[in-house]
Amino acid sequence: MSSFKQRMDEARGLVKIDLVLKRARLVNVFSGEIHETEIGIHQGYFVGIGSFTDAEKELDLCGNYVVPGLIDGHVHIESSMLSPEEFCSLLLSHGVTTAIIDPHEIANVIGVDGIRYILDSVNPLPFNAYIALPSCVPATKLETSGASLRARELSEFLGHPRVIGLGEVMDFQGVIQARPDMVEKLELPLSFKDGHAPGISPQDLNAYYRAGIHTEHECSTVEEVRDRLRRGFHVMLREGSAAKNLMDLLPAVTSKNSGQCLLVTDDRHPTDLIHEGSIDNLVRLAIKSGMDPIQVIQMATINAARAIGLSGLGAIAPGYQADFVILKDLNQFEIEEVYWRGVKQSTRGERPRFSRFSISGLTESVHLGNWSPSKLRVSTKRNLDSGLETGSDDEASEFVKVRVIGVQSHSLVTSALIRELPVIDGCVQTDSKQKIAKIAVLERHHGTGNVGVGFVEGLGLKRGAIASTVAHDSHNLVVVGMSDEEMSLAIQTCVDMGGGLCLVAGNHVIGKIPLPLAGLMTDQDAEEVVRILDELHEKALTLGISRNVDPFMTLAFLSLPVIPELKITDLGLVDVGQFRLVETVL
């Protein structure tokens, strides 16, 4: 029998197939309805719906719901701090069978070797892991990255079956001004180009779209969503661990425009992955807000597939890949079973276990070079006179105005604040009363000795220090503290670990987790990583950090100079709106 005739007979229910799902309540993302049917599966694909009487195996679902495997349209594995194998395992247990992975973070540290590692790790897994090549390494010229990837370096990966697109194009100025290096990347033969343009003017959005960039995940207001929808963009509604925009943006979604909307996590900590979930968590939040469950499921499946160009994924229909999730209750969206290509991968949250690709050769990534604690000082050359305010401490303190980074709850956006801080012996001090701490970013890739120093408000830190080698996007070493001594100890601890996270109180390290893989990830089990992180978060409370702040995730984004309003890199404070370095002391 010809293969064509075989497919026809399978679809018509005339020959034996591998599996039939009996008494299934299908959530049909095409027709927007729920209907009871049988679902036929053969050799990893749906052969159709209707009636199938001859199968190797029958599964009676007793009226349970069947929905397509969920799709995360934009995510960075590195933000989970887990190996790709552990990350994909967790996603499968939460009903996510497909993810568009942007290895932007590891590429900023170790370049093409990081992309190769991600590809090699995900390739054997029972999971649809697709790669969007990082478009902005480095992200800006206002920081020092570990690598530089031009179109020539990216072209090495063209033709790889898992490489499908160009990752988030953060340099929107380079796009609309048609800078040659960005144009070369946009002209690579990749069908999908991911957007990232917070703060871009509505008029410039026209040019951004005409460049072939048709998605956006950085919307934080309803008006931004509408501006993009009106121009044809597919809007990614994001709910990560640091940036939680979903509930703010859902009012922009209507029955008339929801087909242009999809769900993404972007950056998700392992604690949230285990305790709350991935895209399934976004589905539950949207349904709880009052949205129609079928509409939400469409955003989590077929809408994502269409936006990204994943033909054959995101639906339960003839010829589509047999990735699906079984549920008892659609509104609660508690997952019973997860299947990938017709093979069960998870039952009631139990996750599969995968062997891991070697990280040999990817662990030497922290090189501070010529650095000393004296570089943490913020001096003022201003001539202070007796007319300035004097503090009430035992040691006389005069005050100066300084720029301060203002942390906003559950947002990547920061405020550009002006505050008065005390000066002792010509050095600007932290202020526990105002809960203003010092922040520093140390270049860790090339040993340049660069250190940018400023101040931050909103973390709640009253004492001690917190440090991390996870610092978007260049992932230099970032540290926040109330004293230079505590900050120095935290820095040295990160160096000694070869990268990682740590907490310091006084002259003691009170908590740490090594991240030996590029200073971003670990090969430990997810549960062990979460256990340590939970301990770190509890200990962070003793330093004054609020429960409403994820200390390490928030810290990681304070050095991201493409998100407004004031950030810091190894080169100094960055006014994102002006796209320039500014002085700390006014």
Q: pLDDT digits over 212-252, tens only?
A: 999 999 998 999 999 999 999 999 999 988 788 999 999 99
Answer yes or no: is 282 within a domain.
Answer: yes
Token pair of 80 as six digits: 């989970």
293, 312, 331 - which closes a domain: 312
Across 39-48, 356-365, 517-526, least confident range: 356-365
* DSSP letter string, 87-142: HHHHHHHTTEEEEEE-THHHHHHHTHHHHHHHHHHHTTSSSEEEEEE-S-SSS-SS
Answer yes or no: is 7 within a domain.
Answer: no
Question: Are 290 and 381 members of one domain?
Answer: no
- Whether 151 shows a pLDDT value over 70: the answer reads yes
Question: Are 416 and 307 members of one domain?
Answer: no
Assign 49 a pLDDT band (cuts: 50, 70, 90).
very high
- Whether 121 shows a pLDDT value over 90: the answer reads yes
The residues that bridge with 237 in the sheet, in sequence order, are 263
Answer yes or no: is 323 within a domain.
Answer: no
Task: State mean pLDDT over 289-308.
Answer: 98
- Whether 107 shows a pLDDT value over 60: the answer reads yes
pLDDT above 90 covers what percent of the chain? 87
DSSP state of 586: -
286, 312, 338 - which closes a domain: 312
* CATH code of residue 153: 3.20.20.140
Assign 562 a pLDDT band (cuts: 50, 70, 90).
confident
Q: What pLDDT digit, counting tens, does each position of 415-437 carry?
A: 999 999 999 999 999 999 999 99
Assign 163 a pLDDT band (cuts: 50, 70, 90).
very high
Answer yes or no: is 573 within a domain.
Answer: yes
- Per DSSP, the three-state class of 6 is helix
Task: State mean pLDDT over 329-335.
Answer: 96
Across 133-137, 154-158, 226-230, 561-565, least confident range: 561-565
Assign 1 a pLDDT band (cuts: 50, 70, 90).
low
Answer yes or no: is 11 within a domain.
Answer: no
Helix axes 222-229, 202-210, angle to 10 degrees: 40
294, 312, 330 - which closes a domain: 312
pLDDT above 70 covers what percent of the chain? 97
- Whether 310 shows a pLDDT value over 70: the answer reads yes
- Whether 550 shows a pLDDT value over 90: the answer reads no
End-to-end CA gap in the chain: 81
Question: Are 294 and 392 members of one domain?
Answer: no
Sign of CA dihedral 529, 535, 540, 546: positive
- Residue bearing the bigger pLDDT, 549 or 87: 87
Task: State mean pLDDT over 294-322.
Answer: 98
- Whether 390 shows a pLDDT value over 80: the answer reads no
Question: Are 99 and 201 members of one domain?
Answer: yes
Question: Are 577 and 483 members of one domain?
Answer: yes
- Whether 18 shows a pLDDT value over 50: the answer reads yes
Question: What's the chain's average pLDDT?
Answer: 94
pTM: 0.91
For residue 446, give the amino acid letter: H
d(CA 420, CA 71): 48
The backbone region for 449, taken as left when phi is positive above 0, alpha when psi lies in -120 to 50, beta otherwise, is left
Task: State mean pLDDT over 309-337.
Answer: 97
Domain region containing 503: 373-582
Token pair of 96 as six digits: 């996510």
Question: Are 294 and 377 members of one domain?
Answer: no
pLDDT of residue 546: 85
pLDDT of residue 318: 97
The residues that bridge with 35 in the sheet, in sequence order, are 26
Cα dihedral 305, 306, 311, 317 in deg (nearest 10): 80
Question: Are 250 and 392 members of one domain?
Answer: no
Answer yes or no: is 327 within a domain.
Answer: no
pLDDT of residue 69: 98
pLDDT of residue 111: 96
Q: Which residues contact 97 (CB under 8 A, 6 or more apart)?
A: 69, 70, 71, 91, 127, 128, 323, 338, 340, 345
Assign 548 a pLDDT band (cuts: 50, 70, 90).
confident
pLDDT of residue 383: 42
Answer yes or no: is 130 within a domain.
Answer: yes
- Whether 387 shows a pLDDT value over 70: the answer reads no
- Strand 45-50 relative to strand 427-428: parallel, antiparallel, unpaired? unpaired
Question: Are 307 and 410 members of one domain?
Answer: no
pLDDT of residue 381: 67
Answer yes or no: is 353 within a domain.
Answer: no
Task: State mean pLDDT over 205-211.
Answer: 97
- Whether 563 shows a pLDDT value over 90: the answer reads no
Question: Are 306 and 378 members of one domain?
Answer: no
Question: Are 388 and 489 members of one domain?
Answer: yes
pLDDT of residue 547: 84
Question: Are 304 and 420 members of one domain?
Answer: no
Helix, strand, coil in percent for the chain, rounding step 5: 25, 30, 45
Exposure string (b/e) for 514-545, b if CB count within 10 Å is 16 or more?
Answer: bbbbbbbbbbbebeebbebbeebbebbeebbb
pLDDT of residue 549: 82
pLDDT of residue 397: 58
- Whether 386 shows a pLDDT value over 60: the answer reads no
pLDDT of residue 517: 95
Exposure string (b/e) for 49-72, b if CB count within 10 Å is 16 or more?
Answer: beebeebeeebebeebbbbbbbbb
Count: domains in the chain: 2
Question: Are 305 and 382 members of one domain?
Answer: no
pLDDT of residue 395: 53
